[in-house]
Amino acid sequence: MSVLELGCGTGNLAKRLHDAGYDYIGIDLFDEMLTIAKSTAAKARFHQADARNFELEEKLCNN
């Protein structure tokens, strides 16, 4: 199952979801937050983007 979180912040939810087996991608506007998120959930995927106008380059699908 895939999860796309807009406004992922420091990655607390990212860690829990990734550890539970979800294919996780987090989006946040601020690089400072993403730096913390990447250290909190190192194996999750993160992108710096504005949630109001971002484009995800990959297709998420639920299996």
Per-residue pLDDT band for 56 (boundaries 50, 70, 90) equals confident
pTM beyond 0.75: yes
What mean pLDDT comes out for the span 27-53? Answer: 95
Per-residue pLDDT band for 57 (boundaries 50, 70, 90) equals confident
Measured in degrees and rounded to the nearest 5, phi and psi for residue 62 equal: -100, 125
Virtual torsion, Cα 46, 60, 50, 28, nearest 10 deg: -30
What mean pLDDT comes out for the span 3-12? Answer: 95
27 neighbors 47 (Cβ within 8 angstroms): yes
What mean pLDDT comes out for the span 8-27? Answer: 95
Spans of all domains in the chain: 2-48
Q: In the prediction, which pLDDT does 63 show?
A: 53
